[in-house]
Chain A
C-alpha cells in the first residue's frame, strides 16, 4: 500500500532521516519507534508532503507521491495526525471537522454519516461542536485532530503520538479505536513513545535511531531484541 524506499530528509545541513526503507501492506498496522529526535516525525511529515524529501522515493497504492503536494497526497487517500496539536484555534470544532472533509465537500450526505460515526467515537466533540477549537482542553484537541483526519475517509492513516497528553482511559480508548480502524481495512502507520501499547496493536514495527532503521520485525521479534530500550531511550 505504502512503500518508502531509501528516504532521506534534511533541515539545512542537519540530516534528520538518512535513507530509510519500509513497507506497509494493505490493512496492515506498522509501528515506528525510536528515541526523541530519531527522525520519526520527519519521516511522517515527508510522506504527507509537508516536507521535501532530499532523496529516495515514496509510493502510495502504486502511485509515486515523492514530490506530491500535501493536497495531492490527501486526495490519494492518505491522512495525517501530526504530533503538534494542529487545530485551527479560531474555528469551531464543527468547522475544523468540516475542513477535514474538504476533499469530499460535495458529498454532504456521506460527510454527515461519517461525522455521526466520529461523534459516537468521541462524544466530547459532539458536546463541544460550537466551541472554538483553541479553547478546548489539551486532550480534547488531540481527539479533534484524530477525528478531523478521519473525516477525509482515508485508506492510509499516519498517526504521530496520538496518545500524547491523554488520560490513561482515553489512551485505552484510542488504542481500541486504532484496532477497530484496522479491522475495517485501514492501513495505519503509528509513531508512539508508548512502546508496549504500540507493540500490542502493531503487526510489525521498525525501530529508528539517528535517522536510520536499526531493527525491524514482528512485535515479538522486537521485544526479543535485547537493546530495544537502549535504542528507545536514546542510550
Chain B
C-alpha cells in the first residue's frame, strides 16, 4: 500500500512539474509555431534571480515573486531579441536564432555570474517531509502537484474563454493580416512569451527546489522534458502538453521502478525511441490539436 501511494505521488509530482514545463513550451511551440530553444534559460534566470537576491534579507516569497517576474521579463526579451527580427523570414532562421539566444544567455551567466553551482534560498517547507499512508514524501512534491493543478486550470481558462488564444494563433500565422484586423499582433506575441516565461519561472522555483543549486546549464533537462512531453501529447494542443507531461512521468517512474539496473542506464534511449515511435504512428502526437488548414 505504501508502495502504491509512493508510486502515485512520484508520478503526480513529477508529472505536474513536467506538465508545467511542457505547457510553457507549447504556448510558444504549439501556438506560435516557434521552437524556443531558449526556454530552458528562462528557468535558469529564475534560479539566478533567487541566488542574487538571497543575500538581501527579503522574505522568501518576495524573492520567489521576483524570480518569476525576471523569467517573464526574459521571456519578453527572448521575443525581442530572437524572434521578432526573424519571424517573417524562415523557419530555420528562427530555430537558429533561438538556439543562439539560448547559448547567449548561458554564456552570459558563465561570464557575469559564475560557472560554478550557486545555492538558491529555499523556504523551510521545501525540505520538510510528511508521511502519507506510510510513504514519506517531501512537502515540495505536494506543492508541485497543487501548483500544477492551479496553473493548468488558469492557463486553460485564459486560452479557452478569451480571444487571446485565437489571436495568438492568428498573429503567428499571418502577422500583417492580424494587424489589419486590429489585433495588436506584437503585443499578443509578446504576451505569449510572457506567459511562457511565467510558467518557466514557477517551474524554475519548483525544479531548482529539488536540486538546491543553479548552474548555467540547469535549463537543458527541463527543455528536453518539455519537448518530449509536448511531442507525445500533441504538439499543437494545450491539453496534449499536460497529458504528455503526466504520461512521460508515468513512463519514467515505471521504468525507474521496473527496469533492471543494467537497462535503466538506457532509460533515455527507451523514452526517446518511444517518442520516435509515437511520432511515426501519430505525427501530430496523441491528442490532435485543432484541425489544420492544409490542403492541396
Contact = CB atoms under 8 A, between A and B. Distances in A.
Direct contact of A and B (CB under 8 A): yes
Report the interface size class on chain A.
Answer: 20 to 34
Contacts, number: 88
A157 to B, nearest CB: 12
B179 A102 contact: no
Interface string A87-108: 1111110010011101101000
Interface string A60-91: 00000000011101110000101000111111
A133 interface: yes
A95 B173 contact: no
A99 B290 contact: no
Given A71-B179, A71-B182, A134-B292, A90 B166 contact: no
B184 A71 contact: yes
B166 A99 contact: yes
Interface in B156-199: 163, 166-167, 169-170, 173-174, 176-185
Which among B185, B292, B293 has the highest number of chain A CB atoms within 10 Å? B293
Which among A71, A74, A152 has the highest number of chain B CB atoms within 10 Å? A71
B159 to A, nearest CB: 13
B295 interface: yes
A40 interface: no
Given A98-B166, A99-B163, A99-B167, A91 B180 contact: no
Interface of A: 48-50, 69-71, 73-75, 80, 82, 86-92, 95, 98-100, 102-103, 105, 132-135, 148, 152
10 contacts: A50-B176, A70-B180, A89-B294, A90-B169, A90-B291, A90-B293, A99-B163, A99-B167, A99-B170, A132-B290
Given A90-B290, A100-B181, A148-B181, 13 more contacts: A50-B180, A69-B179, A80-B180, A86-B174, A88-B293, A89-B293, A91-B293, A99-B166, A102-B163, A102-B183, A103-B182, A132-B293, A134-B294
